Structures are given as C-alpha cells and as structure tokens.
C-alpha cells in the first residue's frame, strides 16, 4: 500500500528533475532509478557503476547517453534511451533474485559468496564461451573470419577471465561444426588449434572424429594412430582404433 502511494510521487519528481539533470557531475541526487533505492548515497551508486563497467569491460557510454572524451557532466545519466541500460536494469533484478536464492541454499559455507555481474560477464558485455563465439562466426561468416576472430580475441583477452584459450575450446567448436556438417570450417579450426598446441595428442582424436563424421575411415585411422604416436596412453584414441577394426 505504502509503495503504491509513493510511486506516482517519485515519477513526478523524476520528470521535473530529469529536465535539469545534465550539467553537474557527480549529481546531487538520484533521479530516474527504478532498481537502486532512491535514497542511496550518490558515491555508493557511482562505485556500483564503476564495478558494473569493469565487470562488463565497457565504459559509461555503453549504457548512458554521452560520448567518449566528453566530460561526464555532459552525459545524460537519467535518460533511458539506450537499450543496454534497459537490459542492465533487468539484469540487476535478475541478480537480486539470484542472490536471494543463494541465501536459501542449505548448509551454505560462510562467508557466503555473492553473485555479481562479473560472475557471468567476466569482462565481456555479451558473455559467451569461446567455442560458442567460434561456431557463431564460422557459421555466419566462414572459416577465415573465425580464424581472424580467434586471433583478435586472443591478442586482446589472453590472460584475462573472459575466454578460455586452452586446447578444449577450439576442439569443441570444431566438433560442433562437424556435427552440423561444416567439415571445412571444423578442420580449419583444428589446424588453428594445432598451431597453438603443436604436440597435442587429444587434438588428433578430434581430427579422427571429424573424419569419421565425414565418412573418411582412412583419414580417421591415420589421425587416431597419430594421437597414439604422440601419447601412447591416449586410451580414447586406442578405443576408436579398435572401434574401426584397427590394431592400436
Ligand atoms: C551496463 C550498463 C551501465 C553502465 C556501463 C553504467 N551504468 Fe550507470 N546506470 C545503469 C542503470 C541501469 C541505471 C539505473 C538504475 C536503476 O534504475 O535503479 C544507472 C544509473 C546511473 C546513475 C543515476 C542516474 C539517475 O537517474 O539519477 C548515474 C549517475 C550513473 N548511472 C552513472 C554511471 C557512470 C558514471 C558510469 C561509468 C563509470 C555508469 N553509470 C556506467 C547502467 C549502467
Ligand atoms: C547469470 C548470468 C548473468 C548475470 C549475473 C548478469 N548477466 Fe548480463 N547477460 C547475461 C547473458 C547470458 C547475456 C546475453 C543475453 C543475450 O544477448 O542473449 C547478458 C547480457 C547483458 C547485457 C546486454 C549486452 C548486449 O550487448 O546486448 C547487459 C547490458 C548486461 N547483461 C548487463 C548486466 C549487468 C549490469 C549485470 C549485473 C547487475 C549482469 N548483466 C548480470 C548473463 C548475466
């Protein structure tokens, strides 16, 4: 009941104050917040905003109306024009719900871990496993684009939380592409992976599996033999060789 009576009042405040919002940074008070409680101290909100920006690997203008290089006083932080700001609001509500649920897990270790935007985003605005990104790019724009995209992402993000540049990502991407019948794309990604991991045995199991999906038993046998040559304890490769009637 109380909330219902206060809500229209806040709305009126936001409209009037919103008209004079740009011009001062930091602002004196909050104007158009629908998730963050209206009486939250501004410095606390700015701290939250910096955390969010870092978690997503973006700058204020990703969500707010303003340009790179422009003084923050000229930004319109109250505007809801950007889709990303509206999404971020949904995400804030989602995160509150996640943390409420976390509070109910039985025998929770103390201190409990809070979920943050960074739990999922890890420095990316659109959090996506590397394998998924590769499959998407290879499917939409072809193998060469996927290889270029991988190199660019690796240059930019290697050593960060954002993407897993370990051996499995490209193997997984290749496997999914092959399952969708995109063999050339799959082989191109495996070739790229071999460049990164030139002595890998596991990679050749994937090569063999892709060859099998393509109906190329000879190629598959050669790949599985190479996997065993590189690592005689690779039981997956040995098993595959037995499956296709070859002596490991
Ligand atoms: C990922 C999106 C996102 C980024 C990046 C972001 N913000 Fe925000 N910001 C929001 C959302 C959403 C709100 C409104 C929250 C609400 O409705 O409770 C908001 C509200 C604000 C407000 C309050 C505006 C008002 O109506 O009074 C200020 C000030 C602000 N942000 C400053 C910043 C600054 C400075 C940065 C960069 C350091 C930044 N924000 C980065 C999403 C973002
Ligand atoms: C449980 C995981 C998770 C959490 C926690 C999370 N996000 Fe997201 N977020 C996602 C996923 C997944 C997407 C991509 C949705 C899509 O595009 O299909 C996304 C998309 C977004 C986008 C849109 C990006 C774009 O370019 O379209 C914004 C903005 C965003 N999140 C902000 C936030 C903020 C701010 C927080 C913390 C308050 C947050 N997210 C917390 C998973 C999460």
Give me the pLDDT at residue 22, please. Answer: 57
- For ligand 2, whether the C-beta of 127 sits within 6 Å is yes
pTM over 0.85: yes
Q: Which residue owns the Cα nearest ligand 2 atom 20?
A: 126
Burial of 122 (0-12, 13-18, 19+ CB in 10 A): middle
DSSP state letters, 39-68: TS-HHHHHHHHHHHHHHHT--GGGTSB--T
Cis-peptide, bond into residue 76, ω within 30° of zero: no
What's the gap in Å between 230 CA and the centre of ligand 2?
42
Residue of 29, 31, 55, 77 with the most ligand 1 atoms within 8 Å of its CB, for mutation:
77
Residues whose CB is less than 8 angstroms from the CB of residue 49 and which lie 6 or more positions away in sequence, other chains included: 60
Tell me which of 3.90.1150.10, 2.170.130.10, 1.25.40.10, 3.40.50.720 is the CATH number of domain 130-243. 1.25.40.10
Per-residue pLDDT tens, the chain, 248 aa: give them.
Answer: 344 444 444 444 344 444 444 589 999 999 999 999 999 999 999 999 999 999 999 999 999 999 999 999 999 999 999 999 999 999 999 999 999 999 999 999 999 999 999 999 999 999 999 999 999 999 999 999 999 999 999 999 999 999 999 999 999 999 999 999 999 999 999 999 999 999 999 999 999 999 999 999 999 999 999 999 999 999 999 999 999 998 88
How far apart CA 243 and CA 247 sit, in angstroms, is 10
Q: Which residue owns the Cα nearest ligand 2 atom 14?
A: 126
Q: What are phi and psi of 74, to 5 degrees?
A: -90, -5
Q: Which residues line ligand 1 (CB under 6 A)?
A: 27, 30-36, 45-46, 49-50, 52-53, 56, 58, 60, 62-64, 72, 77-78, 84-85, 88-89
CB 64 within 8 A of CB 75: yes
CB 148 within 8 A of CB 192: no
Q: Which residue owns the Cα nearest ligand 1 atom 39?
A: 60
Diameter of the chain by CA atoms? Answer: 81
List, in sequence order, every residue forming a beta bridge with 76; answer none if it has no partner: 65
Domain locations in the chain? 12-102, 130-243
């Amino acid at each position: 009941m109380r909330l219902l009576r206060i809500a229209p009042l806040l709305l009126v405040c936001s409209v009037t104050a919103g008209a004079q919002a740009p011009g001062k940074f930091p602002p004196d008070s909050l104007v158009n917040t629908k998730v963050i409680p209206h009486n939250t101290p501004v410095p606390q909100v700015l701290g939250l905003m910096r955390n969010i920006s870092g978690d997503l690997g973006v700058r204020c203008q990703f969500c707010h109306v303003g340009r790179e290089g422009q003084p923050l006083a000229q930004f319109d932080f109250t505007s809801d024009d950007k889709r990303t700001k509206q999404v971020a609001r949904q995400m804030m509500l989602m995160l509150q719900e996640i943390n409420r649920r976390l509070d109910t897990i039985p025998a929770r270790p103390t201190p409990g871990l809070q979920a943050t935007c960074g739990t999922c985003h890890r420095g990316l605005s659109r959090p996506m496993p590397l394998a998924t990104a590769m499959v998407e790019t290879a499917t939409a724009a072809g193998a060469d684009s996927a290889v270029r995209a991988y190199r660019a992402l690796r240059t930019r993000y290697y050593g960060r939380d954002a993407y897993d540049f370990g051996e499995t990502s490209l193997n997984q991407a290749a496997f999914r592409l092959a399952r969708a019948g995109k063999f050339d794309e799959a082989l191109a990604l495996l070739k790229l992976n071999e460049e990164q991991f030139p002595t890998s045995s596991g990679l050749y199991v994937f090569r063999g599996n892709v060859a099998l999906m393509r109906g190329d038993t000879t190629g598959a046998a050669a790949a599985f033999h190479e996997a065993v040559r590189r690592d005689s304890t690779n039981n997956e490769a040995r098993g595959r060789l037995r499956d296709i009637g070859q002596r490991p």
